[in-house]
Structure 1
Amino acid sequence: MNALTLPATQHDLDLERPLAARGLHLGYGRREVLRGVDLDIPQGEVLGLIGRNGAGKSSLIGCLLGLLRPQAGQALVFGGPALRMDDARKARLGYVPQQPQAFGWMKVGQLFQYLGQLYPGWDPAHATALLRRWEIDPGRTIGRLSPGEAQRLALARALAPRPALLVLDEPASALDPVARRELLRELVGQAMDTGTTVLFSSHIVSDLERVASRVAFLHQGRLLLDRALDEVKDETVRLPLPAAAAARLPAALPGELARRTLPGGAVSLVVAGRAGWQELLLVEGVRTDRLGLEDLFVEVAG
């Protein structure tokens, strides 16, 4: 495996690879949260990070952004080490945590005026449009916003500087379906218009299907799947095998994501990709069931 390399100088931003990681390991006591995670997100991609609640999505994002220190491995933001992120990189990054926090005593408009002085790319017109579209009164005190309003405010804060990299950790959890759809439309529009790279974490599969160009499936601390969404839809299948065929299975097949024993010794396999399993179709009684993203989620993480 190739090691990550640093740029020649700290301020040379690698805009073609906004986010990357190799061999991330993170644990708390005996509990392993991340077990050797590798990830590369090229410019302009919208990556949907999927996994059950508690699968380690927030921990992975924390390591990728330098908010958590892994026991092993390294993450890079725009080519520089995430644990020593400089102001040039922070200025190009928009981040919305799972539970956004802000200055509760400030008014929304005051906060945006303050942030406009910190971010060189802050777009006042865009910020005003976002507040208007999401019905957030600039005169409201932040501490008096509802959870949904606070989450919309956090999203507007992240989008207003038109970041080159946008990282969202379960950003729609407090939003109603209409607000979620408006958010997703905004993400797609910004990614297409400005080439923004987006990492979007969610357990709401339908949200990811609307916006993601690629899907990474985190399960038990490992990335089981990291592929283009179209490939996942076209090449992920479930194979119910009768007992006679199941008894001759190797320990693991190429692309195998899940294996479940059925009554009578039969087995249900979930595989991704086109190689390594087609010969099973020659066995009498074997068929393929195409899996959508939600079905895949249930099969693997259920």
Structure 2
Amino acid sequence: MSATQPLIRLSGVSKGYPGFQLQDINLELPPGCILGFVGPNGAGKTTTIRIITNLIRPDGGRVEVLGRTWDRDEVAIKSRLGYVPEDNQLYEEATGYWLGNFLGRYYPTWDDAFFRILLEKFHVPGNKTVKQLSKGNRTKLAVALALAHRPEVLILDEPTSGVDPVVRHTLVQELLEVIQDETRGVFFSSHIIEDIEKVADRVTYIAGGRIALAGDKETILEQWQELTFRLKDADLLRQVQRLVPYVKESGLEVAAVTGAYNPRLLQELRLLAAGEVTRRPLGLEEIMLILAGNERPKAEEA
């Protein structure tokens, strides 16, 4: 495949269930990139991942992994794909070393020495059975198993959920190691926005089965701004509302949030303000909360 071709490409993907519809999902994972896939529970994150990994079939649209489609190249895709589901169904009676030997038979590129290095790096005792391991060590074992054949695409579904901050830090740092090889990429689904903000190059936010926001993380953080000021006159509020999508007011005090900040917008708001307009970049978690409808700009709370 071309060095510039996306490792994962979804085009117009849809999937329907009673009471839920995944609609018109378009996303790409470029080489050398960590894509943070975020959204509230029930938004469609796991459904999307199951479609990418061919665990379920979409009702419509096209899915390409490593430039190939599942109907034609399933074995070739799986040999180059690493996947850690949210609920790791590892054999309870097996040791980490046994699991490594077992999986190694199915991957031509399996690197047992690398697998053992990962276990040592993660402080996972390979001679203990899965049922003897803590939740954090089970997660690290699952990640080591997914990485040991050096996959070109690593897909993680909530890998840091329910584990302590030390384990989360270890796993997040390992993701950064993966993309040192700029031909590889990571699709990282998590509800822990702090982890996404640390490592992701691109962010895709899904809500209600639709993509609500997608793009380069740094660009998103630059464009999402909270602008607070005092209006010259209450009648000017409607003009503010035409300029920005999220506006809260308390008397003449206004907090306006935009996801498309530019200097011209600032100039237009200054014409409506009695005094200075204060600009504050928003963090990724704040942006997600606003999109989910659970957060209000601070002026209303004052």
CA distance, structure 2, for counterparts of residue 280 and residue 28 of structure 1: 46
CA distance, structure 2, for counterparts of residue 149 and residue 53 of structure 1: 25
CA distance, structure 1, for counterparts of residue 60 and residue 267 of structure 2: 40
Deviation at 1:191, TM superposition (A): 0.8
Give 1:9's aligned residue.
none
Deviation at 1:244, TM superposition (A): 3.5
Q: Please say which structure displays the higher CA radius of gyration.
A: 2
Q: Secondary structure at the match of 1:73?
A: strand
Deviation at 1:177, TM superposition (A): 0.7
The residue type equivalent to 1:24 in the other structure is: V
Question: Contact (CA 8 Å) 1:77, 1:85: kept in 2 or not?
Answer: no
CA distance, structure 1, for counterparts of residue 163 and residue 209 of structure 2: 28
Question: Contact (CA 8 Å) 1:20, 1:77: kept in 2 or not?
Answer: yes
Question: Contact (CA 8 Å) 1:66, 1:85: kept in 2 or not?
Answer: no
Deviation at 1:288, TM superposition (A): 3.5
Question: Contact (CA 8 Å) 2:32, 2:181: kept in 1 or not?
Answer: no
Matched, 1:139 2:130: no
Question: Which deviates the most, 222-231 or 77-86?
Answer: 77-86
- The 3 A distance-change label for structure 1 pair 64 and 228 is same
Deviation at 1:259, TM superposition (A): 3.0
Deviation at 1:260, TM superposition (A): 5.3
Question: Contact (CA 8 Å) 1:51, 1:217: kept in 2 or not?
Answer: yes
Deviation at 1:280, TM superposition (A): 3.8
Question: Contact (CA 8 Å) 1:108, 1:140: kept in 2 or not?
Answer: yes
Q: Secondary structure at the match of 2:139?
A: helix
- The 3 A distance-change label for structure 1 pair 162 and 262 is same
| 1:106-127 deviations in Å (ceiling 9; x for gaps) | 2221110111121111111210
Question: Contact (CA 8 Å) 2:223, 2:258: kept in 1 or not?
Answer: no
- The 3 A distance-change label for structure 1 pair 221 and 280 is farther
The residue type equivalent to 1:54 in the other structure is: G
Question: Which deviates the most, 88-97 or 232-241?
Answer: 232-241
Give 1:166's aligned residue.
154
Give 2:15's aligned residue.
26
Unpaired runs of 5+ residues, structure 1, are 1-12
The residue type equivalent to 1:247 in the other structure is: R
| 1:132-165 deviations in Å (ceiling 9; x for gaps) | 1222222212233222221111111111111100
The residue type equivalent to 1:109 in the other structure is: Y
Matched, 1:152 2:140: yes
1:89 to 69, 73, 77: 77
Matched, 1:294 2:290: no
- The 3 A distance-change label for structure 1 pair 129 and 244 is farther
The residue type equivalent to 1:293 in the other structure is: L
The residue type equivalent to 1:233 in the other structure is: L
CA distance, structure 2, for counterparts of residue 207 and residue 24 of structure 1: 27
Deviation at 1:83, TM superposition (A): 5.4
CA distance, structure 2, for counterparts of residue 21 and residue 217 of structure 1: 15
Identical residues among aligned pairs (%): 33
Deviation at 1:79, TM superposition (A): 1.9
Deviation at 1:98, TM superposition (A): 0.8
Unpaired runs of 5+ residues, structure 2, are 295-302
Q: Secondary structure at the match of 1:203?
A: coil
TM-score, structure 2 normalization: 0.84
CA distance, structure 2, for counterparts of residue 290 and residue 297 of structure 1: 14
2:49 to 20, 42, 61: 61
Give 1:233's aligned residue.
221
TM-score, structure 1 normalization: 0.84
Q: Secondary structure at the match of 2:26?
A: strand
Question: Contact (CA 8 Å) 2:124, 2:137: kept in 1 or not?
Answer: yes
Give 1:219's aligned residue.
207
Question: Which deviates the most, 181-190 or 232-241?
Answer: 232-241
